[in-house]
Amino acid sequence: MGKQMTEMLKGTLEGIVLAILASRPAYGYEITARLREQGFSDIVEGTVYALLVRIEQRGLVDVAKVPSEKGPPRKVYSLNALGSEYLEEFWGTWSFLAERIEQLHHDIEHPHDEGEN
Amino acid sequence: MVAKWIETLTGSLEQKKQYKQDKARIDGLPEPYATAAKAMHRYFMYFGGITDGDTLMTMFGDLADLWERAAVDGTPIRDIVGDDPVEFAETFAQAYTGKQWIDKERARLTKAIEDAEREERK
């Protein structure tokens, strides 16, 4: 993954993972797989695991241990009320940030149509 | 009752037992996962800075979970730790930093600045 991409993802991956869990509960590997499907091809499982540990410690998700075909039970994470609240705040922050950055981008590329805004 | 008295001298026996169990899980991993997990375990002893026993036990338990799962799934080591194992280990450990020795210092710094600010207003 590009260095800039890694840095930018750091601040947003938490929200992205909570958004994935909002659609349905999942275990670590499923989340990594979904992120890869969506184009985050270089994301490693450990990054997602460390993030899941963090959001579990902060009480944003509930954890259920589900027996697996082999090996130890898998931890299935689901969004709880506190997580939903956090996710809502994340979307608000994201919209604000995306809008401001897009505006900045537009202003720099088209400095002459300032009057229209 | 006796156990309680002993624990005031030795620290929590339950925690010691838990620690030994988690260490055994890590030592019992197949290679190369055992090497990777042991290296992280060692690093946490230096980096962690977590003084609270319960938190430390949770962290070591999760570390064993992580590598046991990776071993069963055959996940490549690099898919777990990424390009920078140090960064990975520190990110992992930071999830548990609820009660760190540095927290006391953080509170102290915050208070000192507040005191200074009050002086400024006088």
Domains defined for chain A, CATH in brackets: 3-109 (1.10.10.10)
Inter-chain CB proximity A71 and B79 less than 8 Å: no
Which chain A residues are Cβ-neighbours of B66 within 8 angstroms?
A: 46, 49
Domain that holds residue B70: 4-121
Kindly report the nearest CA distance between residue B66 and chain A, in angstroms.
8
Domain of B70, CATH number, reads 1.10.1900.10
What is the pLDDT at residue A79? 95
How crowded is the C-beta side of B74, counted as CA atoms within 13 Å? 1
pLDDT one-digit tens code per residue, B44-99: 888 766 667 777 888 888 999 999 989 998 999 998 998 889 989 988 888 887 65
Inter-chain CB proximity A44 and B82 less than 8 Å: yes
ipTM confidence? 0.74
Kindly report the nearest CA distance between residue B101 and chain A, in angstroms.
18
CA distances from A20 to A10, A31, A92 (A): 16, 7, 17
Number of compact structural domains in chain B: 1
Residues making up chain A, counted from first to last: 117
Q: What is the mean pLDDT of chain B?
A: 84
Backbone angles phi, psi at A99, to 5 degrees: -65, -45
pLDDT surpassing 70 at residue B3: no
pLDDT one-digit tens code per residue, A15-64: 999 999 999 999 888 999 999 898 888 788 888 988 998 899 889 999 99
What is the pLDDT at residue B7? 66
pLDDT tier for residue A114 given thresholds of 50, 70 and 90: low
Inter-chain CB proximity B72 and A54 less than 8 Å: no
**How much is the average pLDDT of A73-98?**
94
- Which is more confident, A91 or A112? A91
Q: Looking only at Cα atoms, what is the longest distance across chain A?
A: 64
Inter-chain CB proximity B79 and A46 less than 8 Å: yes
Q: CB-based burial of residue B2 (10 Å sphere; 0-12 exposed, 13-18 middle, 19+ buried)?
A: exposed
